[in-house]
Structure 1
Amino acid sequence: MSWQQRSKCLGLCVATALAALPAPAQADDLSALFEPNTIVSAGGFVGAGPRFQGGKQVGLWGLPYVSFRKADEPREWWSPDDGLDVTLVGQGRLQAGAVLDFREGRFRNDDHRLAGLPRLPVTVGLGVFGEFWPIAETVRLRAEVTQGIRAHDGIIAKFGADLVSRFGRFTLSMGPRFVIGDEAAMRLDFDVPVGTNLVNPILAPYRAAAGPRSAGATASLGYDWSETWQTLGYIRYDRFIASASDSPIVRRIGTPNELTVAIGAIYSFRVSP
């Protein structure tokens, strides 16, 4: 069994949530950190994307990255939009486990036209993931299902497929993405409560429904400068569909098209207890 940790969130909230995840009682769980020549990879990403779900305004962000693996484990390919995960079952081509997913917030200063809408704090979702490689190291299928840490945050399910190709020191990947949400998750981001139009006349009352949320695609390009240094560029496009695209938040304030870009660098080194 391999154990890999990916950091996708900022601050102590991430460390606290990760500590709450169940860990396998195996020799290669967290104890891998204390084995000889454990390989630790650390770095960070900077990028730009929508300030909130459906928003047109662009914001800048920065996130750290960290993972570790045993000395005899090969470096696993991953996508920058994967949630922070811990493999609990399986190895190699089929894996499953716990996952933590970052969920964007929404604040009044993101766009003055949000007046009257409730403020949404940044939060995370906890759940499970499954990953299968029908063609080893070439085609990956992945699903993540998470529940927000607050009961009313709702459930979001993310599905993706990736085609991974290696050309010398370059690694190119691309593939589709599809997201669905239950009623609670959809209403949280896309509802317009009754009475909002009294404060903000451009927003008519609206109730979002469970179902498809977005469809899109992603691509990344990595380059291994050496055994220790790697850089990675990433781009993702999402199109809100169904109930999400009909929301006045998307139609009157924002846009159904979302584009996220990022670039990062990762340094790998061996540590011994």
Structure 2
Amino acid sequence: MNEVEIAIFGLVYCVFLGVFMNRLRLIALLSASVAVSSSPAFADGLFSGNWYVTLGGAGISAPTFEGSKNRKLFFQPIISVGRGGAPRFSSRNDNPSFAIYNTDVLRAGVVGKFVPSRDAGTDDALRGLSEVKWGGELGGFADVYVTDWMRARAEVRQGIRAHDGLVADIAVDAFTDIAPDLRVSAGPRMTFATSGYTSAYYGVDAAESAASGLSQYNPDGGVTSYGAGGAITWNATDKITMSAFTEYKRLAGPAADSSLVQERGSKNQLMFGVSASYKFGVSFN
């Protein structure tokens, strides 16, 4: 196997492992990784050299909650840290991440996501359902640069406080420059989740059914959505980047079958928005 094939195999294997492995084993693995990375020798090697940081934000129009037929406007931060001379292709789907391993073909590291709370105040369709607390998701990511015009990315994240499931996002983007400072990109997306996630966001127990009028529903894990997204990105300067983007996804499996979606929501989810970010370099000797 060449380097690209090895990287792709590793990407697929990481997703499979993250979704299906025992949660205690995953926690033990992350704990071991933290123990190794905290050693002085490892830290000196890890943080030496040139790094880049990208900070910014996006204004987005999207469904009020995943599965809703109503819409809202909200802000999403852009945070990314990586090693090397300059950032490579990235997508608005990328959650805040920190790259530990970085080569021409493979970039991998730690990723996190903030998860807002969800209750009847979010959307009237949620009346009678229990609140989902705010929390986060923490895990790992891998980018595979298949060619100089295509990138595949996988994120596997464990829910913290908001839910106790595992979520895996997979995206493939093809990109090309139609002008020196103007790039277009597009590709497919897919999301997997375990029952710990789907129960929190799509499940309806007996008490909730009585309070809301929705049919009882106890979801399993599986593919929760699939779709495609695209973006136009303008490098206004060597440090400032602006983008317009859109994404459509269709809820599937345990998400699409939920009584919340069937009776009060929609399987079709459309999002669009604009973003701006600023990148700068940091050097550690």
- 1:123-202 matches, within 5 Å, as 123-136=135-148, 138-150=149-161, 152-167=163-178, 168-201=180-213
Deviations 1:165-185 (A, max 9, x none): 112211111010011111111
Give the Cα separation in 2 of the matches to 1:211 and 1:67. Answer: 29
Say if 1:83 and 1:64 are closer, same or farther in 2 by CA, change over 3 A.
closer
Alpha-carbon offset, residue 106 of structure 1: 1.6
How far apart, CA to CA, are the structure 2 residues paired with 1:262 and 1:193?
35
Distance 1:95 1:271 in 2: 18
- TM-score of the superposition, structure 1-length normalised? 0.81
State how far apart, in whole Å, the 1-side matches of 2:163 and 2:86 are.
40
Q: Name the structure 1 match of 2:78.
A: 65
Post-superposition CA distance 1:76-133 (Å, at most 9, x none)? 2100111211222342211222111233432111222322211112321111111111
Quick one: which of 61, 83, 101 aligns to 2:113? Answer: 101
Listed as ranges, the gaps of 5+ residues in structure 1 are 1-19
> Considering only aligned residues, what root-mean-square deviation do their CA atoms show, in Å?
2.6
CA shift at 1:152, angstroms?
4.6
Structure 1 contact 83–102 (Cα < 8 Å) conserved: no
SS at match of 2:137: strand
| Alignment-derived partner of residue 122 in structure 1 | 134
- Provide TM-score, normalisation by structure 2: 0.78
**How much has 1:151 moved relative to structure 2?**
8.8
- Distance in 2 (CA, whole Å) between partners of 1:270 and 1:159 is 28
* Partner in structure 2 of residue 257 of structure 1: 268
Specify the SS of the correspondent of 1:159: strand
Match of 1:46 among 59, 73, 84: 59
User: Does the Cα contact within 8 Å between 1:42 and 1:66 map onto a contact in 2?
Assistant: yes
2:237 to 210, 226, 241: 226
Using the TM superposition, give the Cα deviation of residue 74 of structure 1 relative to its aligned residue in structure 2, in angstroms.
Answer: 2.3
Superposition deviation, residue 53 in structure 1: 1.6
SS at match of 1:128: strand
Which of the pair is proportionally richer in helix? 2
Query: What is aligned with 1:3?
Result: none
Q: 1:239 aligns with which of 243, 250, 254?
A: 250
Over residues 210-261 of structure 1, what are the superposed CA-to-partner deviations in whole Å (9 max), with x where a residue is unaligned? Answer: 1110001111110112223321111111110112111111111111111111
Query: Quick one: distance in 1 between partners of 2:280 and 2:65?
Result: 36
Distance 2:85 2:181 in 1: 19
C-alpha separation in 2, matches of 1:76 and 1:105: 33
2:69 to 56, 62, 65: 56
Q: 2:52, 2:86 within 8 Å by CA — same for their partners in 1? A: no
